[in-house]
Amino acid sequence: MKLNLPNLLIAAVVLPVTTAFSGIIGISMTDPVGQFDLGPDEIAGVVPSPNWNNIPYTPNQNGTTTIAQVIHNSKSEATSLGLSYRAWDGRNASSILNDDANSRMMKGKGPSPFDSSSDPHPYAAIELTGCHAAAGKTYDVYIYIGTGIGFTSGSYGNMYLSGAGTFGSFPSAANRVATSGYRTLNSRFTNTAGISVYDPNRGFIRTDASVGGNYLKFEAVTLDTLTITPQMLNSNSNFHGVSMVGIQLIGPDPPNPLIITSISRHALSGNLLCRWGSNPGMVYLVEFSTDLKTWQVVNNAVPSGGDSTSFLYWPEPNPPDRLFLRIREL
């Protein structure tokens, strides 16, 4: 039977997506005088992003410094992320000669352990609190490293991720959530002496136990309190180290916008086929109205079809002149 729908006005309404997206948080451990600061519109990092937070770093002789400034994400939104650091030393990377955004981020002096036969201070760490609210329940971590004190010393060793209660000393094996080897550039200990920590012509190099580089990546981290601790493994010598000059926290992928992509009516049955951009794993509510004031539920559990979801709606045999469909992501 063909429904008589010559004057039916069909429209669709969508409500904003509520899926949390925390964006990207970039932290640059910079010189207190601001000579290496990044501007809000400057793009830097392995995952290119703006609005880096310039955190002035001053070596605190193994005390703890807690930063009071508000840390923002790449969308300029304030977050609840807290930052504390502890280290004996840290100096600017003199091997970096350029002045682009990435070079300045990598030049900055960050918390750095150093070891010497006469005056060893091998512990340094950065602690980030409130990571879940700031970056999401699961996030990736990029840690940018330099040589530590600015000379061709550097080091090789391990970088540990651990949780709450581990800041202040090397985490035990039981408390280490993730471990990666590292090898700094511009280091005689890693056979890279004279190779700049960062050069824009070479870019970023991911380091591990066998490859000299300038950043480490940890994937799918779930810690709410994140403690980052390097441990040098080369033997005592004068002032070798590794500096943590920058950090990126990469939250979940942004949700697809909830947009109606098409709505069509079957000529014979009068059925309405509505399609919209959706997010995998989500559930959608479909409602209809004739006046945009009173809404009735058509289906309260339409499963996502992935990046696109469709729903077939059967109007009443004698439909109104106007019909509105509303889609909501639950």
Q: Determine the structural domain holding residue 320 and report its residue range.
A: 9-18+255-329
Instruction: Give residue for tokens 């014979």.
Output: 268
- CA atoms of 215 and 203, how far apart (whole Å): 11
Could you tell me if 322 and 232 lie in one domain? Answer: no
Residue 152: what pLDDT?
56
| Burial readout 124-138 (b: 16 or more C-beta within 10 A, e: otherwise) | bbbbbbbbbebbbee
- CA atoms of 326 and 296, how far apart (whole Å): 10
> In the chain, which stretches have pLDDT less than 70?
1-22, 148-152, 235-239, 253-257, 317, 319-321
Whole-model pTM: value is 0.72
Residue 265: what pLDDT?
78
| Nearest C-alpha neighbor of 238 from the set 115, 73, 121 | 115
Residue 115: what pLDDT?
76
In a domain? residue 1:
no
* Phi–psi pair at 174, nearest 5 degrees: -70, -25
Question: For residue 302, what is the domain's CATH number?
Answer: 2.60.40
Which SS3 state, helix, strand or coil, does residue 209 take?
coil
Contact 281, 181 (CB under 8 A): no
Residue 122: what pLDDT?
87
Residue 235: what pLDDT?
66
| Nearest C-alpha neighbor of 87 from the set 56, 113, 69, 108 | 113
Residue 155: what pLDDT?
87
Contact 216, 143 (CB under 8 A): yes
Could you tell me if 127 and 234 lie in one domain? Answer: yes
Could you tell me if 226 and 267 lie in one domain? Answer: no
* Phi–psi pair at 267, nearest 5 degrees: -65, -35
Q: β-strand 82-86 against 65-66: which pairing, if any?
A: antiparallel
Residue 266: what pLDDT?
77
Could you tell me if 282 and 173 lie in one domain? Answer: no
Instruction: Give residue for tokens 């400057």.
Output: 42
Could you tell me if 109 and 142 lie in one domain? Answer: yes
The number of folded domains in the chain is 2
Which are the contacts of 66, defined by CB distance < 8 A and separation ≥ 6? 82, 83, 84
Instruction: Give residue for tokens 């830097």.
Output: 44
Could you tell me if 323 and 203 lie in one domain? Answer: no
Half-sphere CA count of 158, side-chain side, radius 13 A:
13
| Nearest C-alpha neighbor of 14 from the set 315, 255, 251, 254 | 255
Could you tell me if 194 and 283 lie in one domain? Answer: no
Residue 294: what pLDDT?
85
In a domain? residue 127:
yes
Could you tell me if 203 and 301 lie in one domain? Answer: no
